[in-house]
Structure 1
């Protein structure tokens, strides 16, 4: 594991959520957790602000975006335009992250949610920070998942996890 790591999780859609987590010296920096939930129109500037804030050389950055999967659940979108908005936003946000040199991965909610349980979110100290913001909560699940699976951060339910 790098001495410093940053993981950004994104739940795209008409009301996208963002969570940025930072680790230094193997410890999750609770005071530097960034949580945002906004309209789709300003999602790209929100990610831009997160990526511009610190040097990617000093803070290797993982960005995990929830993959839009066409299936039975995608038909439950609030409007026909919501699915198109989500698909377009995934592409725009991925391009923005790649432009900044962030390691970027798309993962489905089905791949993340069974692992990123409420117990793991609580153990990482994220539950209170995303309370009342369901899209930010899902973004937090993605940030935590990529940090552990791609960034080799210890599982929040393990003895090695420090916050």
Structure 2
């Protein structure tokens, strides 16, 4: 099963997690990350889907608030909202795909750097903060919705 995490914005981040689901549970078997320019985001998502088949999409929902008003440019919020629409259209284009949209405020307090490191996602996203945010959404979804053990839990092997 493939889970795609997406951080839409002026520099979109995309993370692909491959989960293996068996009668003994769910485990993470592969993870990949990248950042792209906005014009390539849907093309990259289509390419990933064509190569592996995406079953679950978890993306950061845009929330208008104080932080959004402090972005680097006035157009950044508009571009992000447009990109969220593109992600939604792409993700919901396949009827069988499960789609989860969550705010950063919901995901980031749980998906800490410590948890990302335990899952092998911190080093993978080094120097790519938007891909790191996409990883937070993908990991949160994998644990909360798909049965992956919390990387910091004893069940996952944490001490």
* TM-score normalised by L of structure 1: 0.88
Structure 1 runs (4+) deviating above 6 angstroms are: none
**Does the alignment pair 1:17 with 2:13?**
yes
Q: Which residue of 2 aligns with 1:42?
A: 40
Q: Which residue of 1 aligns with 2:84?
A: 90
Q: What is the number of equivalent residue pairs in this alignment?
A: 152
Post-superposition Cα deviations, 1:120-151, rounded to whole Å, max 9, x if no partner, equal 10110111100000000000000000111111
Structure 1 unaligned runs (5+)? none
Structure 2 unaligned runs (5+)? none
Q: Give the one of 64, 68, 75 matched to 1:70.
A: 64
SS of equivalent residue, structure 1 residue 128: coil
SS of equivalent residue, structure 1 residue 127: coil
Post-superposition Cα deviations, 1:68-127, rounded to whole Å, max 9, x if no partner, equal 000000111211111111001001111101113321111000000000011110110111
Q: Distance in 2 between matches of 1:123 and 1:140?
A: 12
Which stretch of the first structure deviates more once superposed, 86-95 or 99-108?
A: 99-108
Q: Is the 8 A contact 1:62 1:147 kept in 2?
A: no
Distance 1:55 1:43, change over 3 A: closer
